[in-house]
Structure 1
Amino acid sequence: MHSYTVEPLYVKSDHEVIAADFYRPKSIEKPAVILMAHGLAALRHFKLVQYAQHFAQAGYAVVLFDYRYWGGSTGRPRELVSIEAQLDDWRSMISHIAERKSIDAKRMILWGTSLSGGYVLSLASRLHNIAAVMVQVPFVDGAESAKLYPLQQLPKALKISSQDYMGAKVGMSPKTLAVVAQKELCFLPTTDSYAGYMSIVNPDHYWSGEIPARVFFNLIRYRPIQEVRQINIPVLFIAAQRDSLIPIESSRETATNIAPYVQYEEWDMQHFDIYHGEWFKKVIQTQLEFLQQLFGVQ
């Protein structure tokens, strides 16, 4: 087990500044590096620190960041989710890491969960300086996930999304929608999502629980599944069989499209189980074994 330091890191992305934590093992001169960020409307402090700590103890450098508009990063309106901007933030962080002398940029791994899992699959299909990808319960097909949204609520969600999008064009204040809620209209209305999402929220960090509604339509149109055939690096893909947000059939089809480069696993769990208890222990063990097969013991 390696000791490590955690340093603040600030990286420019377009006109904004991305806040990150840089975990660096003390005893390894140029370690492999894992780049991490969270899923929909989540901060890096929502259960991702526990992953970063385990990776650093195993001898890997880790850069864990917040997207623009979130957490310690700059940008307004606050708590805006923009798929395009968040993908740009990933590219900015990748470019920054590639230039750092204290790590081995040739061994850069992208790590994603839920929506960020979709991001890193998209990026791995386009970029050529990535060594491997690890995704857990990744968002792979917005069109298919939309079919799980309650049919009677879908027109209302699309309407407020359209209103917010058009209002933003003329400088109006955002129309927001709850990320999760027990009874009201929200982004993630499935039966296990409220308790599941709230189980990862860190009360020590500000989080309103609402985001501008304009991203709803963009999420439906975001389909990493259509890009993954271009991936030609090792991918660890862990799916939840009882995922109420991502159809297991979509995960299976995506993994098939990545073959033969994918190590695909299905576990009998729900979407948010992977952050807790025995499932968390299992995912850390599985991810570290995958890395060891690629790079050997750090």
Structure 2
Amino acid sequence: MKTVAITFDSSGTECAGALYTETDTVGRPCVVLCTGFSGTQDTPSVVAAAQAFAAAGMTALTFDYRGFGASAGRPRQVVDIEDQLADIRAAVRFAREHPLVDPDRIVLWGTSLGGGHVVTVAADDERIAAVLAQVPFNGFPRRAEGRSTRATFALLRVMVVDWLRGVFGLSPHYIPAVGRPGELAVMTGPQAQATIDAMRSDTWRNSVAPRGLLQMMRYKPGDHAPRLRMPLLVSIAEGDRETLAENTVELAERAPRGELRTYPFSHFEVYRADNREKVLADQIDFLRRVLPEV
């Protein structure tokens, strides 16, 4: 398999990416992979997904959002929804102009927060051929399981403090993206921590500016689902406590051509090697069914 480092411009910021191919045949479908909250393109699950799509005869494009991983942009480790949506659109433009890619067979794949992003972006781009939303974000649960009221208020406090620092042009007030139960972090729990402990990445950092959570409180990708004209596959985990199934099912239900697959996993178990192989196999079968000549 061939992997080529690439860069593209997104609103004046250079984003770093990689193209995965098994052949130099031109005019093939391209899957643009969009990471989750604070994720980077070199994490094992994203690399495995890109390799699986490339092995199935497609081109795969991974990239880092501005301020994360190998991409430029400051301040670092700040999740900004509008900026990330702009980066995805820029990645799609790059793919459409690449000689290996059929510009009318671009597929968006996203996981967690990225799974919500791909629905939002595709709703405004009728040329997107298909969408794969994996354990997608579609609004916060009313109450985070395993987080006490005291811990919730502590997180809200640092969110507001960090937002105010941004307003006044000060450096972010970082907290861990993932922590153990009882720790001040965006996501907590033994399964989340086990996933991080097994992480192999040169660029991922367990540090993020919590101001982005304030934007996510108002972000509901499901509002855009009725405008999707392309096939959508939503892959959810029955035991998900980060992106609750009762919220994510809505994406498939509201999309005119939405389909749903459920798995007996938790949110973070989707990224385990044995589990993700099943999910990816189903996603590839879906693309072979809805895209011509895959």
Q: What corresponds to 1:104 in structure 2?
A: 102
For residues 278 and 254 of structure 1, what CA distance do their matches in structure 2 show? 26
Figure out how many residues of one structure are paired with residues of the other and give that number: 291
- Gaps (5+ residues) in structure 2? none
Counterpart AA for 2:265: M
- Structure 1 residues 287 and 207 mapped into 2: Cα distance closer, same or farther (>3 Å)? closer
Deviation of the 1:190 alpha carbon? 3.9
Q: CA deviation at 1:247?
A: 1.5
**Per-residue deviation, 1:44:** 0.7
Task: Give the alignment of 1:103-142 within 5 angstroms.
Answer: 103-142=101-140
- The equivalent of 2:68 in structure 1 is 70
Displacement of 1:229: 1.2
Please report how far the alpha carbon of residue 146 of structure 1 lies from its aligned counterpart in structure 2 after TM superposition: 5.2
Counterpart in 2 of 1:83? 81
**Cα distance in structure 1, aligned partners of 2:79 and 2:124:** 22
- Determine the C-alpha separation between the residues in 2 that align with 1:151 and 1:164: 20
Would the alpha carbon gap of residues 233 and 150 (structure 1) be closer, same or farther in structure 2, given more than 3 Å must change? Answer: farther
Amino acid at match of 1:254: L
Which letter does structure 1 place at the counterpart of 2:114? S
Equivalent in the alignment of 1:255 = 252
Kept after mapping to 1: 8 A contact 2:251/2:258: no
| Structure 1: segments with no counterpart, 5+ residues | none
Q: Percent of pairs identical after alignment?
A: 27
2:235 aligned residue = 238
Q: What secondary structure does 2:175 align onto?
A: strand
- Between the aligned partners of 1:288 and 1:112, the Cα distance in structure 2 is 14
Q: TM-score if structure 2 supplies the norm length? A: 0.93
2:280 maps to 284
Q: Deviations over 1:105-157 (max 9, x none)?
A: 10000000001000001112222220000111111123x36554543222221
Deviates further, 268-277 or 7-16: 268-277
**Alpha carbons 1:22, 1:62 under 8 Å: kept:** yes
For 2:143 and 2:196, the matched residues in 1 are separated by 18
SS in structure 2 at match of 1:178: coil
TM-score normalised to structure 1 length:
0.92
How much has 1:87 moved relative to structure 2?
A: 0.7
Aligned-CA RMSD value: 1.7
Q: Distance in 2 between matches of 1:137 and 1:297?
A: 27
Q: Are positions 1:294 and 2:290 aligned together? A: yes
Q: CA deviation at 1:27?
A: 5.0
CA contact (8 A) 2:234 2:251 kept: no
CA distance in 1 between counterparts of 2:205 and 2:149 reads 26
Match of 1:16 in 2: 13
Contact 2:30 2:61 in 1 (8 A): yes
TM-superposed deviation, 1:279: 1.5
State whether residues 157 and 216 of structure 1, in contact with CA within 8 Å, keep that contact through their aligned partners in structure 2: no
